[in-house]
Structure 1
Amino acid sequence: MVLAITGLFILASLAQATSALPSIFQPRFMIRRSTDDTNTTGVFGPDSKIWGEETPYYAVADYVSPPSSCEIDQVNLLQRHGARYPKKNPTKAMKSAIKKLQKVTITESSMQFISNFTYDLAEDDLTPYGAVQSFDAGIEAYQRYSFLVNTDSLPFVRASSSTRVVESAGNWTAGFAYGSNSTYEPVLSVIISEDGNDTLDDASCDALSNSDSPGDQESAWIDVYTPNITDYLNSGASGASLDNSDTQYLIELCPYVTVAYSERSEWCDLFSSLGIFPDYEYYGDLDKYYTTGWGQGTLGPAQGIGYMNELLARLTNTPVNDSTSTNTTLDSDPTTFPLNRTFYADFTHDDLLIAVYSAMGLFPTPTLNYTSTDDKETSAWRVDQMTPFAGRMVVERISCSDAYASGEGEYVRVLVNQAVQSMPFCDSDDNDLCSLDTFVESQAFARNSGYGIWDECSD
């Protein structure tokens, strides 16, 4: 049964299916069937594809089916939660910057809306638009991979315990059920606590801090790209005395207000007119590069080792072999970590996705730094294409017949936001397929626990 409430849908059957979960983890199924992809059709504006980690999901490329002599026999989905409200510290900073502007007279016409702007966003939680993103992703997953599903083999779904992640997983399962006309109703089977070992979160390494504040490279870049904007804002609101940090947080109001209300914010028009978003995009690239990406040395990618070893276990139908971030109690129990399934769906955060990409060897980028954006356009490291809200990686296991040019056997293909990834680290062929055996061998960093790097997490 589907109930319509204020333009959103609640799938009662899904709510009942999750009633056994602790109340704090009950998904709020604020979902509806979207009629189009707002980001693709430009409702949020063309610059909405360069908002870094706050970019609404969009398909980077059209989906390409495997070669005709090959068939997908297993899918592994790792997906970020949908669009959320700002976290606690950014919320305070945004309110502070707005207050500085609203206590003075604004004379610049493009800034007039700020005088009457009311900041009323929640903190940290999934937005209604974010719920829709996950719901639609579930529909898409069913439409693309329905041939892998039957009543005895539904997607096995896990989520990290953050409320917005749990809700995203619940909305995805609801979308999957909707796509199948309620023929198949997968449920969220495992919630992994973020208070302990969790392969779907990046907080298992004590040596890395989890701060919402910009790091050294990001802070330095703010002082490179925002001064002219800060001057413009201060000239249009004399006496506001904004600094560059204030400007950074004001820019962030654009994506956050947009995804909160599902319509383009006036903040976006203000900053778009000043041509700031390409440089704001680079801020996001630096942020993730130095958080859990290549720029964090080896401790960043080490956060992805646990998930990679779980992925290898699923691809090879063998027990998990890992001594890093896995929860061994869960992974050793076939009820909470089954093998021989055809569809796995895991829900996570953007920092963990970045760590997994880096641990696997995707998006190799030797250096990013705040002094120059000269290599930006050709760089593989584009966070808005890697981890947008509801961003996802799909690893397909593919069985090919002897008619396939590269030979009969099992292969692996990796897609990030639908774009098929080349895998030079495992000699992928012209179709970007890598033999399963070669793929497993290529993941020596994960299989060897980062060659001792993980031990530094507790030093």
Structure 2
Amino acid sequence: MSHLTASYRPHPQSTRPLIVSKMLVGTSLLALAALAHDVLALPSAAQSPSAIRIRKSTATNTTGVFGPDSTIWAEDTPYFPVADYVAPPSNCEIDQVNILERHGARYPKKSPTKKIKSALKKLQKVTITETSMQFISNFTYDLGEDDLTPYGALQSYDAGVEAYQRYTSLVEANGLPFVRASSSQRVVDSAGNWTAGFAAASNSVYTPVLSVIISEDGNDTLNDGSCAALSDSDSPGDQEAAWIDIYTVNITDYLNAGAPGAGLDNTDTQYLIELCPFVTVANSERSEWCDLFSSLDAFPGFEYYGDLDKYYGTGWGQGDLGPAQGIGYTNELLARLTNTAVNDSTSTDTTLDSNPATFPLNRTFYADFTHDDLLIAVYSAMGLFPTPALNYSSPDDQETSAWRVSEMTPFAARMVVERMSCSDESGSGDGEYVRVLVNQAVQPMPSCGSDDNDLCALDAFVESQAFARNSGYGIWNECSD
């Protein structure tokens, strides 16, 4: 059996696209050969209900591919469908699809890597006496940094296969998906792996290419770095830090008791817990770190940390500047849905968006590749996942909250916006409609008067996006203040 490699590599005779200051147009990535791969059949650990929060998920894959708790690893969660895909009503026919997808599973970033190694060093310099922790003495940290893992590459490949199979009717030789990516290498590689999966699913009849790479050094609607006033940090904010000191206390005490003299603090514990998802997606098998922290019931608290991190990062907890970073993409989406020029003065690159070669209209299929923080900003700008302010001192009242990052932005998460033409057989009326799905779950859209099928009339959907259409009512101006 052959396996997809983490880095998307073209044939030696082809030209790998180089990231230029503005764009890369029309450079073909040679599709990876169709790959046969083993179905992961991994051990799962028995789980008990959390004393902090009993999970109430509607996910169809409730056990998760890496064990029952692998659906609550916050933004480090491997992709899983939150619901079964539901076809549109029989009187409706999809005529355009827009996919906004996060890159596949990656290794830790640079800053967390340093903190993980620091915490691990404290444990490995002392004698470990606790049986459940014995594996730590012989554990070797050998993870990469920033890049996709092989498992993450496979996630995007599989997403491309799924996209072709689901939306075959929208594809023809002169109507291939138009694909863009933000310029981080893991995002570019994810886009390439997606096109490879798409091509393989069609038996190489249809071979889409990555047409535009948007530099993260300038305006980029597929990255959350265009607002200078919004800090970008991998360190916990005030709310997240406060929650760490609540949920990790007993876990830290257990680790220190099992490794006398280690002197771990609560922040060390937070980064040690991250070893579970990162080692797991690096090796494509459940890590012993997961079994340790599962036995300590760490993951419900860890998940809520992720909820807070994204809510106060680029969600509404940040104030309006977080959602403002999703305005540019939302306005591009509206342009595609209505086949009109982009009307935006926020994070769009006007050179790209005014050029039909780099921002074509009248297409049936678009696929864009991005990061989780940008996905959160787009969700917020569009009014998805409404939630009361998260109470970082206790998640007990969040049982019914829609804000669950593990279901919003897992690795290889995807938001899909389907435009469809409907006849008047269901009472909705003839015309164009829109529905939004996140990880296959159809999203309620009361702001645009959605019907029982969560379909919004296209005109009503456009009107409902007033925050984006009005540049956040002036909020974007604060980005340069």
TM-score, with structure 2 as normaliser? 0.91
Deviation string 1:419-452 (CA, Å, 9 cap, x unpaired) is: 0000011110000000000000000110010010
Q: Which residue of 2 aligns with 1:74?
A: 96
Q: Which residue of 2 aligns with 1:203?
A: 225
Is residue 316–residue 323 contact of structure 2 (8 Å, CA) maintained in 1?
yes
Unpaired stretches in structure 2, ≥5 consecutive residues: 43-60
**What's the offset of the Cα at 1:29?**
5.9
Aligned residues: 455
Q: Which residue of 1 aligns with 2:315?
A: 293
Is 1:318 the counterpart of 2:340? The answer is: yes
C-alpha distance in structure 2 between counterparts of 1:222 and 1:131, whole Å: 31
Q: Which residue of 2 aligns with 1:149?
A: 171
**What's the offset of the Cα at 1:331?**
0.2
C-alpha distance in structure 1 between counterparts of 2:7 and 2:377, whole Å: 34
**What's the offset of the Cα at 1:366?**
2.0
Whichever residue aligns with residue 348 of structure 1, its letter is T
Please state whether the residue corresponding to 1:170 is helix, strand or coil. Answer: helix
Is residue 34–residue 136 contact of structure 1 (8 Å, CA) maintained in 2?
no
**What's the offset of the Cα at 1:377?**
1.6
Of 221, 236, 253, the residue aligned with 1:231 is 253
C-alpha distance in structure 2 between counterparts of 1:246 and 1:11, whole Å: 31
Is 1:21 the counterpart of 2:17? The answer is: yes
C-alpha distance in structure 1 between counterparts of 2:281 and 2:322, whole Å: 28
C-alpha distance in structure 2 between counterparts of 1:329 and 1:310, whole Å: 13
Is residue 11–residue 29 contact of structure 1 (8 Å, CA) maintained in 2?
no
**What's the offset of the Cα at 1:369?**
2.4
Whichever residue aligns with residue 115 of structure 1, its letter is S
C-alpha distance in structure 1 between counterparts of 2:224 and 2:7, whole Å: 31
Please state whether the residue corresponding to 1:358 is helix, strand or coil. Answer: helix
Of 147, 169, 173, the residue aligned with 1:125 is 147
Deviation string 1:390-420 (CA, Å, 9 cap, x unpaired) is: 0000000010012231110000000000000
- Stretch moving more, 194-203 or 41-50: 41-50
Is residue 31–residue 171 contact of structure 1 (8 Å, CA) maintained in 2?
no
C-alpha distance in structure 2 between counterparts of 1:230 and 1:117, whole Å: 19
Q: Which residue of 1 aligns with 2:436?
A: 414
Q: Which residue of 2 aligns with 1:335?
A: 357
Runs of 4+ in 1 over 3 A off after TM superposition: 7-18, 23-43
**What's the offset of the Cα at 1:8?**
3.7
Q: Which residue of 1 aligns with 2:128?
A: 106
Deviation string 1:273-312 (CA, Å, 9 cap, x unpaired) is: 0111111110000000000001011000000000000000
C-alpha distance in structure 2 between counterparts of 1:451 and 1:16, whole Å: 50
Identity over aligned pairs, percent: 76
C-alpha distance in structure 2 between counterparts of 1:362 and 1:200, whole Å: 18
**What's the offset of the Cα at 1:10?**
10
**What's the offset of the Cα at 1:375?**
2.0
Please state whether the residue corresponding to 2:396 is helix, strand or coil. Answer: coil
C-alpha distance in structure 2 between counterparts of 1:429 and 1:109, whole Å: 56
Q: Which residue of 2 aligns with 1:213?
A: 235
Is 1:265 the counterpart of 2:287? The answer is: yes
**What's the offset of the Cα at 1:385?**
0.2
Would you tell me which structure has more helix in proportion to its own residues? 1
Whichever residue aligns with residue 332 of structure 1, its letter is S
C-alpha distance in structure 1 between counterparts of 2:402 and 2:9, whole Å: 42
Please state whether the residue corresponding to 1:375 is helix, strand or coil. Answer: helix
- Stretch moving more, 28-37 or 283-292: 28-37
Is 1:45 the counterpart of 2:67? The answer is: yes
Is residue 181–residue 368 contact of structure 2 (8 Å, CA) maintained in 1?
yes
Q: Which residue of 1 aligns with 2:50?
A: none
Is residue 322–residue 447 contact of structure 1 (8 Å, CA) maintained in 2?
yes
Is residue 300–residue 355 contact of structure 1 (8 Å, CA) maintained in 2?
yes
Q: Which residue of 2 aligns with 1:401?
A: 423
C-alpha distance in structure 2 between counterparts of 1:411 and 1:85, whole Å: 39
C-alpha distance in structure 2 between counterparts of 1:141 and 1:203, whole Å: 28
Deviation string 1:251-291 (CA, Å, 9 cap, x unpaired) is: 00000000000000000000000111111110000000000
Deviation string 1:162-205 (CA, Å, 9 cap, x unpaired) is: 00000000000000001001000000000000000000000000
Of 428, 438, 444, the residue aligned with 2:460 is 438
**What's the offset of the Cα at 1:372?**
1.2
Q: Which residue of 1 aligns with 2:368?
A: 346
Whichever residue aligns with residue 68 of structure 2, its letter is P
Whichever residue aligns with residue 100 of structure 1, its letter is K
Please state whether the residue corresponding to 2:159 is helix, strand or coil. Answer: helix
Whichever residue aligns with residue 95 of structure 1, its letter is K
Is 1:188 the counterpart of 2:184? The answer is: no
C-alpha distance in structure 1 between counterparts of 2:79 and 2:415, whole Å: 12
Is residue 9–residue 30 contact of structure 1 (8 Å, CA) maintained in 2?
no
The alpha-carbon distance between structure 1 residues 33 and 302, as it changes in their structure 2 partners (threshold 3 A), is farther
Q: Which residue of 1 aligns with 2:401?
A: 379
Please state whether the residue corresponding to 1:378 is helix, strand or coil. Answer: coil
Is residue 365–residue 380 contact of structure 1 (8 Å, CA) maintained in 2?
yes
Is residue 240–residue 305 contact of structure 2 (8 Å, CA) maintained in 1?
yes
C-alpha distance in structure 1 between counterparts of 2:444 and 2:242, whole Å: 33
Deviation string 1:144-163 (CA, Å, 9 cap, x unpaired) is: 00100000000000000000
The alpha-carbon distance between structure 1 residues 13 and 235, as it changes in their structure 2 partners (threshold 3 A), is closer
Whichever residue aligns with residue 22 of structure 1, its letter is L
Of 249, 266, 271, the residue aligned with 2:271 is 249
